């Protein structure tokens, strides 16, 4: 993976340089955007709802036992907004969308469709990478924003309905509001934007360097998902360091 | 129609000392040949002789280790030259974009470069599909087409560029004899109609002798002979004769 980082940076730079052409490729980006949304929204809601619930279930009884029940909303809200929603949704999207990107571009590479584009003087970075990059860079932060809200709802529902926690909806959100501010949410959403760039660049790069037949495509898909997740987790540490108040 | 698109004359192609190696294994050993404007030039040879690698150099998909390729005397490696002359390639598999319809595939060059309005593109697509005998297939997906139809769509896609040079990679491979004849007729008809320079890479002897003005026989990255079909047939080189007369007989 690490020997390809230079190539991935070059690909990212080329896609950035092509950003002025994004409007021209808006239809392709919109198609990608809706594909990402339709494929992922339901899963994002389910996943984030239960993450919120589990967080409340794990922390709630411990805090209540120590007389800190009023902090349940704060801890669940803070961890979901800043860490769990951006990272776990990025992992989900790497699996669902990154794999699809690598498979589609990889099969285009193997079956000479990308060579055909080049012979027509159509730049594959403009035609294939730019729309995917822009669509994911918009879609993932939106999905993470939804995931944060749904995760809070899941946490609040479990905290209020579980007898060992018994923190009301109102108390949960009061605690959440007193601790989590807009900066914390923006922090998580910004991380997801960076993760989106990582997923799109890694997956498109893997697709573009695919060699061989169906086995090569399968290998690219696996590498795209694994490399994306590894880079998401590593970059999460550095982003957290940079974004610490 | 802009000036570049309306120019229909074929171009002269020169290959000089073209050499290419992959991982130390030499695939092309300093090839030299010249294709005249408007000529159908066939490069024939057994599988693995370096034909497709040569073709990829001609279209700029590979960089040579040594030697040069000239179009009208100008090196093909220069981006200005690539944009100055219109070249098209018909891939062995057709290489149609599977996510697009036939019509979108054929009109892709015009729509991506915004050379025409959508209405004009639709008209040109219909016209080019008619030329290759596939009128009315605009809305079909490539997966709904037979191998022969895919190649004809690929030819239609190449025609939209109004090319001065068309490169065909194994145009009759994987086709039944009737479809192969249709493709061969298509190559000759286009050459006569728009005087495009055609370079065909194939191991199909019937196709080569049917369409070629001149033939080059290549083996293991070396050109064994270049000449008219009659000259090649009479060439004394045993490898040429072996390739031309290889036949299977059940004893």
Q: What is the pLDDT of residues B134-177, one digit of tens each?
A: 889 999 999 999 888 898 899 899 888 888 889 999 888 877 88
- Give the pLDDT of residue A192: 96
Instruction: With respect to residue A83, please indicate whether it lies within any of the assigned structural domains.
Output: no
Range of the domain at A209: 2-16+25-53+89-157+182-240
Tell me the mean pLDDT in the region B207-232: 90
Q: How many domains does chain A have?
A: 1
Instruction: With respect to residue A209, please indicate whether it lies within any of the assigned structural domains.
Output: yes
Statement: residue B7 has pLDDT above 70: no
Instruction: With respect to residue A46, please indicate whether it lies within any of the assigned structural domains.
Output: yes
A113 interfaces chain B, CB cutoff of 8 Å: yes
Question: Tens digits of per-residue pLDDT, A131-154?
Answer: 999 999 999 999 999 999 999 999
Instruction: With respect to residue A174, please indicate whether it lies within any of the assigned structural domains.
Output: no
Cβ pair B108:A119 closer than 8 A: no
Question: Tens digits of per-residue pLDDT, A57-70?
Answer: 999 999 998 888 88
- Give the pLDDT of residue B1: 37
Question: Tens digits of per-residue pLDDT, A212-244?
Answer: 888 999 999 999 999 999 999 999 999 999 988
Instruction: With respect to residue A235, please indicate whether it lies within any of the assigned structural domains.
Output: yes
| A206 vs B47: CA distance, rounded Å | 29
Instruction: With respect to residue A203, please indicate whether it lies within any of the assigned structural domains.
Output: yes
Band the pLDDT of B180: cuts 50, 70, 90. Answer: confident
> What is the ipTM, given to two decimal places?
0.80
Taking CA–CA distances from B84, the nearest residue in chain A reads A121
- Give the pLDDT of residue A146: 96
Bridging pattern class, strands B222-227 and B87-90:
unpaired
Residue from B20, B15, B59 nearest B34 by CA: B15
Other C-beta atoms closer than 10 Å to the C-beta of B137 total 20
Statement: residue B251 has pLDDT above 90: no
Band the pLDDT of A109: cuts 50, 70, 90. Answer: very high
Instruction: With respect to residue A81, please indicate whether it lies within any of the assigned structural domains.
Output: no
| B183 vs B210: CA distance, rounded Å | 11
Residues 119-178 of A with CB under 8 A from B: 119-122, 127
**What average pLDDT is seen over chain B?**
86
Number of A/B CB contacts below 8 angstroms equals 51
Cβ pair A116:B91 closer than 8 A: yes
Band the pLDDT of A203: cuts 50, 70, 90. Answer: very high
Tell me the mean pLDDT in the region A3-16: 91
B60 interfaces chain A, CB cutoff of 8 Å: yes
The crossing angle, in degrees rounded to 10, of helices A130-161 and A169-179 is 130
Taking CA–CA distances from A116, the nearest residue in chain B reads B95
CA distance, residue A28 to nearest chain B CA (Å):
12
- Give the pLDDT of residue B2: 40
Question: Tens digits of per-residue pLDDT, A148-181?
Answer: 999 999 999 999 998 888 899 999 999 999 999 9
Answering whether pTM is above 0.90, one says: no
Instruction: With respect to residue A245, please indicate whether it lies within any of the assigned structural domains.
Output: no
């Amino acid at each position: 993976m690490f020997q390809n980082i230079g190539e991935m940076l070059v690909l990212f730079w080329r896609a950035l340089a092509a950003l002025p052409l994004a409007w021209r490729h808006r239809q392709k980006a919109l198609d990608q955007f809706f594909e990402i949304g339709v494929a992922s929204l339901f899963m994002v809601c389910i996943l984030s709802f239960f993450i919120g619930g589990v967080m409340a279930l794990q922390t709630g009884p411990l805090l209540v036992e120590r007389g800190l029940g009023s902090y349940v909303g704060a801890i669940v809200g803070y961890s979901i907004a800043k860490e769990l929603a951006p990272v776990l949704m990025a992992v989900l999207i790497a699996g669902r969308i990154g794999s699809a990107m690598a498979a589609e571009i990889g099969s285009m590479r193997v079956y000479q469709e990308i060579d055909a584009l080049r012979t027509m003087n159509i730049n594959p970075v403009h035609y294939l990478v730019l729309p995917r990059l822009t669509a994911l860079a918009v879609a993932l932060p939106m999905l993470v924003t939804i995931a944060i809200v749904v995760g809070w709802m899941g946490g609040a529902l479990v905290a209020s309905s579980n007898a060992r926690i018994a923190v009301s909806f109102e108390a949960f959100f009061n605690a959440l509001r007193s601790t989590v501010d807009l900066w914390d949410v923006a922090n998580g959403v910004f991380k997801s934007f960076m993760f989106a760039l990582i997923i799109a660049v890694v997956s498109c790069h893997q697709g573009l360097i695919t060699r061989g037949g169906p086995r090569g495509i399968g290998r690219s898909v696996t590498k795209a998902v694994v490399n994306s997740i590894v880079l998401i987790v590593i970059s999460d540490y550095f982003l957290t360091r940079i974004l610490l108040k | 129609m802009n000036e570049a698109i309306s120019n229909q004359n074929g171009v002269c192609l020169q290959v000089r000392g073209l050499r290419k190696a992959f991982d130390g294994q030499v695939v092309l050993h300093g090839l030299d040949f010249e294709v005249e404007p408007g000529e159908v030039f066939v490069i024939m040879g057994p599988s693995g002789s370096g034909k497709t690698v040569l073709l990829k150099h001609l279209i700029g998909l590979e960089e040579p280790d040594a030697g040069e390729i000239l179009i009208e005397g100008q090196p093909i490696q220069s981006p200005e030259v690539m944009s100055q002359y219109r070249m098209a390639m018909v891939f062995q598999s057709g290489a149609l974009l599977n996510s697009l319809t036939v019509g979108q595939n054929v009109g892709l060059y015009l729509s991506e470069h915004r050379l025409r309005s959508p209405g004009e593109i639709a008209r040109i697509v219909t016209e080019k599909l008619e030329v290759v005998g596939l009128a009315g297939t605009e809305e079909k997906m490539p997966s709904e087409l037979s191998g022969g139809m895919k190649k004809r769509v690929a030819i239609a896609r190449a025609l939209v560029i109004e090319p001065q040079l068309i490169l065909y990679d194994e145009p009759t491979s994987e086709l039944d004899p009737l479809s192969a004849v249709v493709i061969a007729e298509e190559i000759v008809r286009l050459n006569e109609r728009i005087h495009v320079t055609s370079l065909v890479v194939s191991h199909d002897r019937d196709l080569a002798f049917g369409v070629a003005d001149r033939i080059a026989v290549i083996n293991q990255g070396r050109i064994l002979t270049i000449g008219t079909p009659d000259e090649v047939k009479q060439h004394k080189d045993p490898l040429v004769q072996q390739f031309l007369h290889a036949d299977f007989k059940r004893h």
